[in-house]
Amino acid sequence: MEGELPPAGRAARELWARGARLYGAARTLREDHTRALDAVRSALEPIRDHLVAEELESIPVARLKDVTEGRLRLGAIEAAGLASVRAVHEAGRYELRQLPGVGPQTADRALAAARQIARAVADTVSVRIDVDHPEPRTTALVVALQRLVEAGPELRRALDAAERLDERLGELLPAARPAGNRLRMALAGRKRREGALAAVAGLRELVADAAARDLRLLIAQASTDLLRPPVSDIEAWVDFELRSAEYYSRLAEVSEHRPDLAASEGFLPAEIAERVHAQPLDDTHRRVSLRGYQAFGARFALAQRRVVLGDEMGLGKTVQAVAAMAHLASEGHSHFLVVCPASVLINWTREIRARSTLRALAVHGPDRQDAYAEWRERGGVAVTTYDVLHTLPGPDGTAPGMLVVDEAHYVKNPATRRAGSLAVWTGRCDRVLFLTGTPMENRVEEFRALVRQLRPDLLPALRGAGAVAGPQAFRTLVAPAYLRRNQEDVLTELPALLQVDEWEELGAADREAYDRAVADGNFMAMRRAAYADAEKSAKLQRLCELVAEAADNGLKVVVFSYFREVLATVRRALTESARDPDPDRQTAEQRVFGPITGAVPAARRQQMVDDFARAPGHAVLLSQIEAGGVGLNLQAASLVILCEPQVKPTVEHQAVARVHRMGQTRTVQVHRLLAADSVDERLLDILRNKDRLFDAFARRSDMAESTPDAVDVSDSGLARRIVEEEQRRLAAGAG
């Protein structure tokens, strides 16, 4: 019997106490999180009730007959002045029964039908947070969400750990408790002693693992974050402006409203969807929370190994790729390779560093061979371009854990050098992820070229009748290797406005023009230097790529710039693309309208806008930001491109508001083109200063909205400061 006892009751008691403290911390975090969620739900409920009520108000009371298949008599209800479903829904049983000519059965049936419609409406309404028109209900929601957002991506890891500990320790602690008392163990029966010893062993292992992973600290920090006092209304709104996507991500997690499951999973066949759901997704090396459809996309890439992720632009293909690589890193993979156009290389490095713990190395420019050698030796994510890939040594030894190919339609022609150099890598890598926002359903030849590198076994299905049987049949045929979701399928409780900063590197000619402008102290020339060499401008190249992708998706685009010269350069570039020999990539010249400038009379400006709105399908409107940003309604567009950041944030807000306004039926995407190590970066550093944003928000009013100068610092002072900082920076670099 003595041999069955633990070495010392005291040791078992100490172990039990450590487990109990861990258990208490886990349960406390779960309770704190539940309270935080309840606060969000409490703030969300009146907003959704209001949206439902507005929708019910627009439904005539006669529609109640549809629910009851015509069996409901509504004459007396209508005669009493109840004209909408909302009126019946809010009246209640007692009030309805008091109406002349309305009996109990009619009242009950009418109310039941109204409630049935209300439930259906509640499943469809979408909550939008309008930063330009804050009101008490949405302010309460933003304040409640801020607590969850501020807790950061570590909150999800802490909650997952707390849930596992809560469940496991809830079983082990009661079973292990007798081992802390030698007399109790001596008097216990054999079965109970064996259970206690097994529980102590399990407890020891669990506590040791928690200590090794610092779980108690992780959980305690998460609880501390959730217990912080609520921030002020203004602080919450400013924080929402800075990271609205994170707020909407939390809102989507809390809300019971979910997008259509089949649509959010790309209408994949059930057997593939089940395999994807069974694929785990480790978040140890990830620093961002994923929306449901994004987690599914990352799992799809992992489970199916060699795929095309073709989500519509704006749905976060990059973050899904980062999540997949982060998961593989948790499994021990150390090397990853991203191939992309030069115009998005810097964006990829920034996204990898911001969204994960993975090292990102830009393999580009004169030092690319050294960077490549460092990647081979130390690992991480090498980010290179199509044009550089063929200059690098081919894969030898262990292949990358995943090869990610952005804008994969660039390699649709297998005869090109870029396609050939990429094929060397796709042939060696077990996992390959192609990203493209171009819908493949209408480009079977293009898709066939991509599949040839990924899944040649699917090629027979893409020939003959299967290739022309329609979009749904096409998706079924290629489901093992193709996933696409559209905005309307998944953006339900998500933002009506998506903002993306597109970072580019100045080319040699642009850099020379920029340095010359800095030396001359010419602030305006510094701001437009990124377009000095139209042939090699990274900003202009990215702009053309965004317009081409918008054309593929049938979207209308508004391009804003402060400078007429920049708009003229953009128009020439888009006109050149209209003569692209590939008819699928053409942008018809007559579909580029404008530019709207200060010199264009008001009537002519409106005519340009009307022509743009009436153009079928894709079109582009060019406008000076201060000419088109006020007074014109541009809601026909759903993509806004800002050629450069503006000195006055309110100018940007007003311009975007021309598109993102009542009457807009699609999510609006705003892409701001930025040059790294330039006036753009200095300007954003200053404009992101929270004190200034607080000041701008606190002083916002009808007058401030109509006169941007009321809340913005002086142009001259800001320009002088930036010029002086850039002159010092470049002088230090030269020294």
CA distance 204 to 15: 7
pLDDT at 495 > cutoff 80? no
* HSE-CB of 506 using CA atoms within 13 angstroms: 22
Q: What single-letter DSSP state applies at residue 561?
A: E
**Segment 167-180, tens digit of pLDDT:** 999 999 888 877 76
Place of tokens 């009030």: 95
Which range, of 269-273, 444-448, 507-511, 564-568, averages the lowest pLDDT? 444-448
pLDDT at 158 > cutoff 50? yes
CA distance 55 to 29: 38
Q: Classify residue 374 as left (phi > 0), alpha (psi -120 to 50) or beta.
A: alpha
The stretch 285-290 carries a mean pLDDT of: 85
Q: What is the pLDDT of residue 413?
A: 83
- DSSP letter string, 378-422: H-EEEEEEHHHHTTSPPP-SSPPSEEEESSGGGG--TTSHHHHHH
CA distance 311 to 484: 4
Amino acid letter at 205?
Answer: E
pLDDT at 401 > cutoff 90? yes
Q: What is the pTM of this model?
A: 0.71
CA angle 630, 634, 639 (to 5 degrees): 115
Give yes or no for a contact between 134 and 122, defined as CB atoms under 8 angstroms apart. Answer: no
Give yes or no for a contact between 212 and 192, defined as CB atoms under 8 angstroms apart. Answer: no
Give yes or no for a contact between 309 and 317, defined as CB atoms under 8 angstroms apart. Answer: yes
CA angle 693, 503, 588 (to 5 degrees): 110
**Segment 134-156, tens digit of pLDDT:** 889 999 999 999 999 998 878 98
Q: Is 190 exposed, middle or buried (0-12, 13-18, 19+ CB in 10 A)?
A: exposed
Q: What is the pLDDT of residue 575?
A: 86
Looking at the DSSP bridge assignments, the partners of residue 405 are 339, 434
The full set of domains in the chain, from first to last, is: 1-251 (no CATH), 260-490 (3.40.50.10810), 497-734 (3.40.50.300)
Helices (H), 529-624: 538-552, 564-577, 602-614
pLDDT at 706 > cutoff 70? no
Give the contacts of 5 (CB within 8 A, at least 6 positions apart).
Answer: 179, 182, 185, 186, 193
Q: Classify residue 644 as left (phi > 0), alpha (psi -120 to 50) or beta.
A: beta
Q: What is the percent of the chain where pLDDT is above 90?
A: 40
Tokens representing 84 are 């909408």
538 to 509, 510, 683: CA distances (angstroms)? 11, 9, 19
Q: What is the pLDDT of residue 711?
A: 36
Q: What is the pLDDT of residue 583?
A: 42
CA distance 219 to 214: 9
Which range, of 113-122, 264-273, 453-462, 484-493, averages the lowest pLDDT? 484-493
CA distance 85 to 117: 8
Q: What single-letter DSSP state applies at residue 708?
A: G
Q: What is the pLDDT of residue 702?
A: 40
Q: What is the pLDDT of residue 330?
A: 95
**φ, ψ dihedrals at 481, nearest 5°:** -135, 10
pLDDT: which is higher, 83 or 145: 145
Q: Classify residue 231 as left (phi > 0), alpha (psi -120 to 50) or beta.
A: beta
Tokens representing 106 are 């009619």
CA distance 470 to 526: 50
268 to 38, 186, 213, 263: CA distances (angstroms)? 34, 60, 37, 9
pLDDT at 713 > cutoff 50? no
Q: Is 34 exposed, middle or buried (0-12, 13-18, 19+ CB in 10 A)?
A: exposed
Query: Which among 447, 444, 446, 452 is positioned nearest to 422, based on CA atoms?
Result: 452
pLDDT: which is higher, 28 or 76: 28
